[in-house]
């Protein structure tokens, strides 16, 4: 095995064994976004998941992008603090909104 050396000092380079700098911050940001999306969806579930304007103002996302991201989350394990019926209710709302968006697109 050939050891790579830094060009300026000639000292051996350490192989990268961890994630790139800032990955912990990005992961924390993703977890926060995940919780915010689910909290919003839970709040608005009785009303069909929130309207497009509220989604845009709150998250800066189109309705389709919001529900696409929510679907990715809901395809994963249930979040701590939520029970299976709540998770299933969110899936139902998400699927209904996708069906609605598809009907509008197909016109």
Q: Please indicate, yes or no, if residue 56 is contained in any of the structural domains.
A: yes
Radius of gyration of the chain (CA): 21
Q: Please indicate, yes or no, if residue 8 is contained in any of the structural domains.
A: no
Beta carbons within 8 Å of 15's beta carbon, 6+ residues apart? none
Full residue range of the structural domain in which residue 81 is found: 23-106
* Burial status of residue 76 (CB atoms within 10 A of its CB: 0-12, 13-18, 19 or more): exposed
| Counted domains in the chain | 1
Task: Tell me the pLDDT band of 8, cut-offs 50, 70 and 90.
Answer: low
Q: Please indicate, yes or no, if residue 1 is contained in any of the structural domains.
A: no
Q: Please indicate, yes or no, if residue 67 is contained in any of the structural domains.
A: yes
More confident residue, 10 or 28: 28
- Whether the per-residue pLDDT at 16 is higher than 60: the answer is no
What pLDDT score does 52 carry? 93
Task: Tell me the pLDDT band of 77, cut-offs 50, 70 and 90.
Answer: confident
Q: Please indicate, yes or no, if residue 4 is contained in any of the structural domains.
A: no
User: For the chain, how many residues are written?
Assistant: 107
What does the alpha-carbon distance between residue 52 and residue 63 come to, in Å, rounded to a whole number?
5
Q: Please indicate, yes or no, if residue 28 is contained in any of the structural domains.
A: yes
Q: Please indicate, yes or no, if residue 60 is contained in any of the structural domains.
A: yes
């Amino acid at each position: 095995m050939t050891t790579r050396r830094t060009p300026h000092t000639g000292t051996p380079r350490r192989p990268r064994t961890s994630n790139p700098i800032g990955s912990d911050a990005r992961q924390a940001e993703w977890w926060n976004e995940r919780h915010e999306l689910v909290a919003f969806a839970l709040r608005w579930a009785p009303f069909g998941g929130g309207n497009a304007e509220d989604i845009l103002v709150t998250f800066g996302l189109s309705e389709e992008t919001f529900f696409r991201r929510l679907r990715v989350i809901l395809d994963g394990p249930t979040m701590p603090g939520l029970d299976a019926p709540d998770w299933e209710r969110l899936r139902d709302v998400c699927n209904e909104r996708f069906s609605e968006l598809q009907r509008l697109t197909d016109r």
